[in-house]
Amino acid sequence: MKVQEENAAYDEINITPMLDLAYVLLVVFILMTTAAVQGITVNLPKASDAPSLSKPQTKAITITADGTIFLDTYPVTMEQLESSLQQYKAVNPALPVVIKGDAAVQYVNIVNVLAMLGKLDITQIGLVTQNLVK
């Protein structure tokens, strides 16, 4: 058995207590800085718990690849579409309409719908597209 001399130098230094102290100081610093940050007090409006009684105002016209026209989710002919949109336009003069045309649909079908919307003086028109993935 080997006995160390009392005056012998240490070969390595135990840094575990020093790291423990550094971690405790880091945690205290993080807690104190987050507690010191104060937000701006704002009086926020209250939302109503009652469900909305009004229907969405935007009408969606969908044209499928085979040329079928839908108003919202109901299939319609061009004449039915025109009469329905006239009724909606009478209720809401600023009626917004979005058109969803299938990529394979003939362009003339979309042009016919756009011409009909122009005849009804519906000017808030949106065309729905997909984002291109690069």
Residue 15 included in any domain: no
Closest CA to 121 of 63, 78, 82, 79: 82
For the cut 80, the answer to whether the pLDDT of residue 5 exceeds it is: no
For the cut 70, the answer to whether the pLDDT of residue 8 exceeds it is: no
Residue 4 included in any domain: no
- Amino acid 11: pLDDT: 76
Residue 51 included in any domain: no
Scanning the structure block, which residue is given the tokens 């319609």?
Answer: 76
**Which CATH number goes with the domain that contains 117?**
3.30.420.270
For the cut 70, the answer to whether the pLDDT of residue 71 exceeds it is: yes
Task: Quote helix, strand, coil % in the chain, to nearest 5.
Answer: 35, 15, 50
In degrees and rounded to multiples of 5, residue 45 shows phi and psi of -70, 155
Q: Which domain holds residue 72?
A: 59-127
Q: Count the domains in the chain.
A: 1
**Rounded distance, CA 73 to CA 79, Å?**
17
Residue 114 included in any domain: yes
In this prediction, residues 30-56 reach a mean pLDDT of: 67
